[in-house]
Structure 1
Amino acid sequence: MKVIICGAGQVGTTIARHLAMEGNDVTVIDASAEAARRADESYDVRGMVGFASHPEALRRAGAREADLLIAVTRSDEVNMVACQVAHALFHVKRRIARLRHHGYLEPIWREARPPPVDVVISPEVEVARGVARRLRTPGAFDMVPLADGKVQLLGIHCDDASCGIAGARLGQLRQAAEGRGYVVVALVREGRAFVPGPDDQVACGDDVYVIAQPEHVDSVMAVFGHREQAARRVVIVGGGNVGLHLARMLKRDALVSLKVIEHGAERAAHIAETLGSGTVVLQGDALDRELLEEANIAEVDTLVAVTNDDETNIFVSVLAKRAGCGRVITLVNKASYAPVVDSLGIDAVVSPSSITISSILRHVRRGAVAQIYQLRGDFGEVIEARALAGSRLVSAPLGEVGVPAGMLIGAVVRDGRAFIPDAATTVAPGDDIIAVMAYTAREAAEALIALPGSAPGQGA
């Protein structure tokens, strides 16, 4: 597949790297010669200098032969125009645009978006939703509903003192998985992530991904030593798009006491006016201890740091924890900070680029795959896929179909009901499966799911 990506920022280059790794022909356009050069030299893609919305730039990028255009520049308007030009002049089959300004996302203004934008991705809204989900599942550093909420992907830290399954063989746990309502699908240990085999054990200090049935979530969290109550007193640091979207979501819950800290005076006034009564907006530097004391940070259940600066988010989170804040959720863009953040006592890290990549790949992949979620550590992903008649997946019980190493099927959805399969389970055509797969197992996993003779990733 030939793909043009407009914008060589972190999101654009990361998407380019993922698509290039899958064997796609990728060209990245950016107005900055330096950014285009870095993309060209760092990844197996073609970096090109140009304005993404200009017809000549798109022509030079090969738009006439392109199957997909992904517009993720910093400008919503450039992204929309790039999709318009790609559609009208070059007949590019699919166009995806990242839009940030809430005006383009409001239902009453959707007609302002040009029809040639097939898919709109709003990272700020997706990040805010992700944080809100974490607030509803205290103790989990990640929570993603799958299969229309019939199962949940939970990221849980195995506490040293109270993790009830530390030392247990995962093969034994899997045998009783249906009764327990969960299955362990991935482990992150000392910075290394992997899909566990039956002889692997959960160790104290691991970060564990599990697939759980919603009715068992509380008991699953308790098994891992987490019995936290849902946050009722929340402080949001950063009143940008993410912070404002999150504040709006939390305002709907009358039981949440909300405060917002915003550095800019004009922006703080806008937030106060937008959110109205019931929300306290403090203007100033969140790294100022006196301001944190004014926010009564020692009595706060959860602080959410979502400014545009990673360092500010990290440091204010550390200060809040030391001041007595119960839990901190921190937005971090730079992947290189992940090992440091894990050692600082930060409870949950939110990666906008990972969320954006997951959203875009969900629309790039075709055929059987319906949903994708990128796992922490960039080692693999969770997929939701339809079992197709004629594929190897439905030919025999799971213990006999040759599920590759690095892939684990955690749930099957049949006739509207989700259950955790075992080796004797036979997946039927039309079932949906929830599986985790390491990137090293992608080709073998796609071969298991796809129809014989179909191209990888195409499904039917």
Structure 2
Amino acid sequence: MKILIVGAGRVGTSVAENLVSEQNDITVIDQRPDRLAYLHERFDLRTVQGDGCQPSILKQAGADDADMLIACVEQDSANLVVCKLARQIFNVPRRIARIRSPEIPEMPELLGEDGFCIDSLISPERSVTTYLHSLIEFPEALQVVEFAEGRVSVVTVKVGPKSPLAGQSVRHMDAVFPDVNARLVDVQRNGQPVTQGAGGIITPGDEVLLVGDTRHARRAVRQLHEAEKSVRRVMIAGGGNIGMRLAGDLADEGYSVRIIERDQSRCEYLAAQLPSNVLVLHGNGTDEALLERENIDEMDTWLALTSDDEDNIMSSLLAKRLGARKVIALINRQAYGELMQGSHIDIAVSPSQATMSELLRHVRRGDVVAVHRLRQGKAEALEAVAHGDRSNSKVVGRRVSDIRLPRGAAIVTLVRGEEIIMAENDTLIESGDHVIVFVPTRSQMAKVEKLFQVSASFF
């Protein structure tokens, strides 16, 4: 696929890095030569220096025959204009814009053919806020993503010492959930898979991937990990867009929320915009005296959500040492996140991975409804719709055991109308089923995509 990315900031760079590794033909436009030099040195892609709002620059970058344009400049206005030009002048088939404003998504008349010609919006702030909210709802989980409009949840959780799963064979791990519509898909120990061979015994500390009916997911997760107290008291460091959105959402649901912001004027804005039951504090998340004064040891969850990775790491380590039960840090640099995850920082959240999950469903081939990155981006799970019949589809009319999936990949769940089916070897896939597939490595995704592409006879 030939993809044109306008904007090489934090989001654009992350998008380019992820998509170029999947053998896409990528061209990046930006006005800053230092950003383009960084991308050109590290990745096999083309760069064009200039303003993406200029038709001549878009033409130079190859907009005439691009399959997709992703506009992710820092300014919303520029992204809107770029998508309009891409459609009306170059007829680019798919146009995606990164939008910060919460107002624009609520005005669909601005997005269609009579507006700015945008097919889809991506909002890193919204994606991260939604993801953080799910982690607070599942205090035992390391990662939570949803499919089928929230009806199916995929949860990563660490096995606790008192879990009934500890000491069980991987072969028989589904037996732990006799009365729950859920199943275990994958087990990892120190970043390596635990196989179903003779030594495949689950031990405390292993990370397991659970897929199931969202209504049953909490029960299943608590069987894997000693049930933690429900979260009611939350402290947030950082009053930017993500911190403000999350604080507002949690306060509306009855959580006790405190938010720390170092900028005085921003504090005043937060106090005016947030519900009255959110306590806004002027200060720094790394201020030990402030945290002690605000009873950090009584907090169920600490979230460090500033734009500075180092500050988020240091404040989270401090909060954990001072007694916060669970600490979550927003960390942009992947190397930092992998280093800190599971140490004194319980969960390191990558904004780029959350954004990519939102974007990937537009890049994947076939009728893909949703895609989520798992295990710090190493694995993926996707929801695809099965179309056609046995003559023109590689999955419809076939049993799960007859479908040639890549090694380690698995069809885990089917959503058929109102029914949620945990897939077994003899489960028959029907046209219209929403099929949720786990893929252990991203390099295998192309083979899975082809399974859900119907042949020409379908049309």
TM-superposed CA distance for 1:143, in Å, is 1.4
TM-superposed CA distance for 1:332, in Å, is 1.0
Partner of 2:437: 435
1:446 paired to 2:424: no
One-letter amino acid of the structure 2 residue matched with residue 303 of structure 1: W
The structure 2 residue matched to 1:414, chosen from 405, 413, 416, is 416
Paired residues of 1:302 and 1:325 also in contact (CA < 8 A): yes
- Whole-angstrom distance in 2 between the partners of 1:238 and 1:176: 41
TM-superposed CA distance for 1:218, in Å, is 2.9
One-letter amino acid of the structure 1 residue matched with residue 268 of structure 2: A
Q: Give the SS at the match of 1:102.
A: coil
Partner of 1:392: 394
Q: Deviations over 1:202-235 (max 9, x none)?
A: 3322222210222322321222123113211111
Q: Give the SS at the match of 1:371.
A: strand
Unmatched 5+ residue regions in structure 1?
none
Q: Deviations over 1:280-338 (max 9, x none)?
A: 10011110111112321111111111110111111111111111111112111110013
Distance 1:85 1:180, change over 3 A: same
Distance 1:432 1:112, change over 3 A: closer
Distance 1:367 1:403, change over 3 A: closer
Q: Deviations over 1:146-176 (max 9, x none)?
A: 11222111111123x2232134333322477
- Whole-angstrom distance in 2 between the partners of 1:9 and 1:201: 45
Q: Give the SS at the match of 2:273.
A: helix
Partner of 1:268: 267
Partner of 1:312: 311
Distance 1:360 1:108, change over 3 A: closer
One-letter amino acid of the structure 2 residue matched with residue 287 of structure 1: T
Distance 1:369 1:109, change over 3 A: closer
After TM superposition, the structure 1 = structure 2 runs for residues 107-126 of structure 1, keeping only pairs within 5 Å, are 107=106, 111=110, 114-126=115-127
Q: Give the SS at the match of 1:144.
A: strand
Distance 1:148 1:372, change over 3 A: same
1:46 paired to 2:46: yes
The count of residues paired between Structure 1 and Structure 2 equals: 452
Stretch deviating more after TM superposition (23-32 or 13-22): 13-22
One-letter amino acid of the structure 2 residue matched with residue 123 of structure 1: P
TM (norm. structure 1) is 0.91
- Whole-angstrom distance in 2 between the partners of 1:246 and 1:315: 21
- Whole-angstrom distance in 2 between the partners of 1:226 and 1:71: 44
- Whole-angstrom distance in 1 between the partners of 2:159 and 2:122: 33
Paired residues of 2:312 and 2:330 also in contact (CA < 8 A): yes
TM-superposed CA distance for 1:416, in Å, is 1.6
TM (norm. structure 2) is 0.92
Partner of 1:303: 302
Paired residues of 1:141 and 1:349 also in contact (CA < 8 A): no
- Whole-angstrom distance in 2 between the partners of 1:265 and 1:110: 37
TM-superposed CA distance for 1:181, in Å, is 2.6
- Whole-angstrom distance in 1 between the partners of 2:225 and 2:210: 14
- Whole-angstrom distance in 2 between the partners of 1:433 and 1:46: 36
TM-superposed CA distance for 1:426, in Å, is 1.5
TM-superposed CA distance for 1:276, in Å, is 4.0
CA RMSD between the two structures: 2.4
Distance 1:171 1:371, change over 3 A: same
Distance 1:112 1:272, change over 3 A: farther
Paired residues of 2:353 and 2:376 also in contact (CA < 8 A): no
Paired residues of 1:164 and 1:224 also in contact (CA < 8 A): yes
Stretch deviating more after TM superposition (107-116 or 233-242): 107-116
Partner of 1:402: 404
Stretch deviating more after TM superposition (393-402 or 132-141): 393-402
Paired residues of 1:318 and 1:344 also in contact (CA < 8 A): no
Which structure is higher in RCO with an 8 Å CA cutoff and minimum separation 6?
Answer: 1
Partner of 1:290: 289
Paired residues of 2:36 and 2:47 also in contact (CA < 8 A): yes
TM-superposed CA distance for 1:275, in Å, is 0.9
- Whole-angstrom distance in 2 between the partners of 1:195 and 1:433: 25
1:281 paired to 2:280: yes
One-letter amino acid of the structure 2 residue matched with residue 443 of structure 1: A
Stretch deviating more after TM superposition (394-403 or 1-10): 394-403
One-letter amino acid of the structure 2 residue matched with residue 25 of structure 1: D
TM-superposed CA distance for 1:38, in Å, is 1.9
Partner of 1:130: 131
- Whole-angstrom distance in 1 between the partners of 2:356 and 2:194: 21
TM-superposed CA distance for 1:201, in Å, is 4.2
- Whole-angstrom distance in 2 between the partners of 1:314 and 1:54: 40
Identity of counterpart residues, as a percentage? 34
Partner of 1:28: 28
After TM superposition, the structure 1 = structure 2 runs for residues 48-447 of structure 1, keeping only pairs within 5 Å, are 48-105=48-105, 107=106, 111=110, 114-159=115-160, 161-174=161-174, 179-192=179-192, 200-254=200-254, 256-388=255-387, 389=389, 390-437=392-439, 438-447=441-450
Distance 1:364 1:448, change over 3 A: closer
Q: Give the SS at the match of 2:384.
A: strand
Partner of 1:17: 17
One-letter amino acid of the structure 1 residue matched with residue 314 of structure 2: F
TM-superposed CA distance for 1:13, in Å, is 2.7
TM-superposed CA distance for 1:451, in Å, is 2.5
Unmatched 5+ residue regions in structure 2?
none
Distance 1:333 1:196, change over 3 A: farther
